[in-house]
Each structure stands twice: as C-alpha cells, then as structure tokens.
C-alpha cells in the first residue's frame, strides 16, 4: 500500500507546480493626456497576445493575463502617439499610469458649408491628361468615354456621348482652346456609339466641369469640357502606328527654336476584322483623314496657334424595323472640316489679349 501512495503523491506534486506557475497577473491603471484629462476608449493590450482592455469614461483599465515573462504593453488610440512599455508578468497585481501625446499631423476640423461656392473655373474642374484618357478602362482612348466615368454622368452605350445630370448631349458644351466646338463627335447612325472627333494626344489638359460656369461658358447647361492643345512640340519626331483592327497612322512633328509644325494622317478600315468576326452590318466602318498643327511663339509669352483637320467616314448598318426581315438598311457618309486659330499675348500695364476664330463644315449623306 505504501508503495502505491508514494507515486501518487509525486504525480500530484508535479501537476500542482504548473498550476501555480500559471497564476494570473492583473494589470490596471489610468491613461491621460498631457493636460491631465482622462482618455476614454483607449486600447491597452499585451503585444502578440489577445489579452487587453479599453479604458472607461474615467480613463481606467483593468484586465488579467496568464502570460509569463516580459511582454510589451501597448497603449494606442486615434489622434495620439502610441506607447509601449515592457511589463514583467510575475503574478502580483501591477498598477500603471500612461500619458499620451497628441499627434500634430492629424486632420483638423471638417467644416461643411451649404449654399455657397467659389466663382472660379479651376476650383470645380476635373483635369485629365492624355495618359489619363488612354489608360481609363472602357474609354477606348476617347475623351468622352473617359469623362463618362466621372460622377454625375450617365453612360449611354447606344450614343457614346456625354450625358450629364440627365441632360441631352447637346447641353454639354465643348471648347477647343476657348473656341466653341459645334460638332465635337464623329457622325454615327442609331445604335452605333459615336467617338470624339479629336485625339487625346493633341491636348495638354482636358478639364471637365459640371456646374457654376463663368461668362466664358454661358451657353452650357449641363457641363463644360475645355480642351487645351499643346503649345510648342517638345521635340522633332516621327511616329508610325499599326492597329490590329485594320488601321494605320503616320505622324511627324518638327521643332524649331520658336515654332513647330505637326502633321498626321490616319486610315482605318474594319473590313478585315469583320471578315474574321462577322457583324450584322452592311458596310464596315471606314475612315480617313489628317491634321496640321502650326505653333509660333511671339515675344516672350505670346503664342499663335493654327490647327486644321479633315475627316471622311462611311458606315452601313441594319436598323431594327418590323417591315424588314433582316432590318432596314441604313448607310452614312460624312465629311468634316475644322479650322481653329487662336492668339494670346501680353499687353502693357498687366493687360493681355486672347482671341481666336474657328470654323466647321460638316456634311452627312
């Protein structure tokens, strides 16, 4: 019997030692700011563990842990610099006090003002660069397609034009170097989205505004798109682009000391693509055209710009019609010519002049 009791006593002693070693340690204390005010809702916890608590309305905290050894105690809250203090968890209760310092780079007060706005064009504009347009998903490198991703616009897949706040496409006015564009979109038939007439690479900035226009944009009802062309070409270069859809583009720009000239030619025929992917269209889309941009610097700050563009397009589709078995055939041939000339320059006593002339000839048959 004695031989049986001795191993049993040894086993109970072995089990009791770990239980004694796992005695809980109670951590308590207060958290205040530099002015001595209590900070409620501060997170106080042992790093790498789930043991911790939040301070009450008087800045007090209290929690227990069965962890042993030395661990960092973290004190953190929004708007104050976090603190870490190593604590040795030996079993007895420990009382601590923390003083947190405010973070100086936090966001200040947010003031909401209703019913007023600053009468400035730059304060309300969303400005796109050429890179922004060509990298916007779903825009297909089209200026109107890129702006159709902005808040306040209504995407219309059948027309592809800018519809802002429920208004018609004609209520959004587009200006090229301050001159009103009478025909900013290519001609198109019903159900076929129209694209913008100008390449985004022509512009150094494209500004989109949806309200509060100045007198310069008084004809706009829904929105304004201000297209600002590049000044002098940065360097002399030649470019050749081949499109997988059946297109070719050639360009050359020549830079002189105080002037530059850029010439482009484009041709697109989607007939090879339609041969691979059959479409319900009578005639594949075909377009060709070119442009010339002349820039001349006058004086130190003056700039004379002359831009001309010519485009011809043909397209044929079948429109839904109950009287036609395969749809009513419709064809369109359009020719567009556009010339824009602007001049800006300083005068004496802080005065400056900015003037221009633009003409459009659009034929559709």
Identify which has the larger pLDDT, 120 or 227: 227
Which stretch of DSSP H or E encloses residue 146? helix 143-147
Same domain for 276 and 193: no
Question: Looking at residue 141, what DSSP letter applies?
Answer: T
In this structure, the answer to whether residues 223 and 122 fall within a common structural domain is yes
pLDDT of 24: 86
Give the mean model confidence (pLDDT) for residues 36-58.
Answer: 93
pLDDT (mean) for 318-342: 87
pLDDT tens-digit map of 13-43: 444 444 444 578 899 999 999 989 999 999 9
Residue percentage of the chain with pLDDT more than 70: 84
CA atoms of 236 and 5, how far apart (whole Å): 102
Burial class (CB in 10 A: 0-12, 13-18, 19+), 274: middle
Q: Is the same domain home to 95 and 200?
A: no
Structure-block tokens of residue 21: 């070693």
pLDDT in tens, 301-310: 899 999 999 9
pLDDT in tens, 73-119: 999 998 899 999 999 988 788 899 999 998 876 555 666 654 444 44
Q: Which of 229, 259, 293 is the last residue of a domain?
A: 229
pLDDT for 325:
79
Is residue 211 helix, strand or coil?
coil
Residue 107 lies in a domain: no
Residue 265 has pLDDT above 80, yes or no: yes
Distance CA 344, CA 231 (A): 11
Please tell me which residue, 149 or 123, carries the higher pLDDT value.
149
In 3D space, the residue among 254, 223, 252 whose CA is nearest the CA of residue 150 turns out to be 223
| Residue 279 sits in the same domain as residue 185 | no
Q: Is residue 288 very low, low, confident or very high in pLDDT (cuts 50, 70, 90)?
A: very high
What pLDDT is attached to residue 58?
92
Question: Average pLDDT for residues 317-345, to the nearest whole number?
Answer: 87
The number of domains in the chain is: 3
- Count other Cβ atoms within 10 Å, centred on residue 67: 15
User: What pLDDT band is residue 148 in, cutting at 50, 70 and 90?
Assistant: confident
- Boundaries of domain holding 38: 24-100
In a domain, 5, yes or no: no
At 218 the pLDDT is 67
Can you give the length of the chain in residues?
365
First to last CA, the chain: 118
255 with 313, same domain: the answer is yes
CATH code (residue 31)? 2.60.40.1120
Confidence of residue 12 (pLDDT cuts 50, 70, 90): very low
Question: What's the token pair of residue 364?
Answer: 């559709």
One domain, residues 225 and 236: no
Separation in Å, CA 217 to CA 73, 172, 174, 176, 222: 62, 10, 9, 12, 11
Residue 237: per-residue pLDDT: 92
pLDDT top residue among 79 and 170: 79
Does some domain include residue 113?
no
Instruction: Give the residue from 73, 100, 127 where a domain finishes.
Output: 100
Going by their DSSP bridges, the two strands 223-229 and 172-176 should be labelled as parallel
pLDDT confidence tier of residue 171, bands split at 50, 70 and 90: confident
Mean pLDDT, the chain, whole residue set: 82
Q: End of a domain among 41, 68, 100?
A: 100
User: What's the token pair of residue 218?
Assistant: 């008084």
**pLDDT for the residue 357:** 94
The percent of residues above 90 in pLDDT, for the chain, comes to 36
What confidence score (pLDDT) does residue 345 get? 92
Q: When comparing pLDDT for 291 and 105, which is higher?
A: 291
- C-alpha dist (Å) from residue 71 to 23, 137, 325: 16, 50, 82
How confident is the model over 178-223, as pLDDT tens digits? 888 888 888 888 777 888 888 888 888 888 877 656 666 666 677 8
Looking at the structure, do residues 293 and 218 belong to the same domain, yes or no?
no
Q: Is the pLDDT of residue 279 over 50?
A: yes
223 and 259 belong to one structural domain: no
Most confident of 127-136, 214-223, 272-281, 347-356: 347-356
């Amino acid at each position: 019997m004695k031989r049986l009791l001795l191993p049993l006593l040894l086993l109970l002693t072995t089990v009791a030692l770990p239980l004694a070693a796992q005695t809980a340690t109670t951590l308590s204390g207060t958290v205040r700011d530099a002015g001595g005010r209590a900070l409620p809702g501060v997170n106080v916890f042992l790093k790498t563990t789930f043991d911790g608590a939040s301070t009450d309305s008087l800045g007090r905290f209290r929690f227990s842990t069965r962890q042993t050894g030395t661990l960092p105690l973290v004190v953190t809250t929004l708007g104050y610099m976090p603190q870490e203090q190593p604590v040795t968890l030996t079993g007895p209760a420990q009382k601590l006090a923390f003083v947190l310092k405010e973070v100086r780079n936090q966001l200040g007060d947010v003031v909401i003002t209703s019913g007023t706005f600053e009468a400035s064009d730059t304060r309300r504009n969303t400005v796109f660069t050429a890179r922004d347009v060509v990298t916007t998903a779903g825009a297909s490198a089209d200026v109107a397609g890129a702006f159709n991703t902005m808040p306040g616009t209504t995407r219309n897949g059948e027309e592809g034009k800018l519809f802002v706040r429920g208004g018609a496409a004609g209520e959004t006015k587009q200006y090229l170097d301050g001159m009103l564009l009478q025909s900013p979109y290519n001609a198109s038939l019903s159900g076929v989205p129209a694209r913008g007439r100008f390449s985004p690479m022509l512009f150094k900035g494209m500004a989109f505004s949806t309200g509060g226009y100045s007198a310069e944009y008084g004809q706009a009802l829904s929105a304004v798109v201000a297209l600002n062309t590049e000044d002098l070409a940065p360097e002399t270069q030649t470019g050749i682009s081949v499109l997988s859809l059946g297109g070719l583009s050639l360009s050359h720009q020549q830079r002189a000391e105080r002037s530059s000239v850029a010439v482009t030619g484009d041709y697109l025929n989607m007939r090879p693509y339609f041969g691979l992917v059959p479409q319900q269209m009578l005639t594949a889309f075909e377009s060709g055209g070119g442009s010339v941009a002349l820039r001349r610097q006058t004086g130190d700050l003056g700039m004379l710009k002359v831009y001309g563009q010519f485009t011809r397009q043909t397209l044929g589709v079948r429109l839904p019609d109950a009287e036609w078995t395969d749809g009513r055939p419709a064809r369109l041939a359009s020719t567009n010519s556009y010339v824009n000339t602007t001049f800006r320059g300083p005068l004496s006593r802080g005065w400056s002049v900015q003037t221009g002339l633009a003409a459009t000839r659009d034929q559709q048959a």
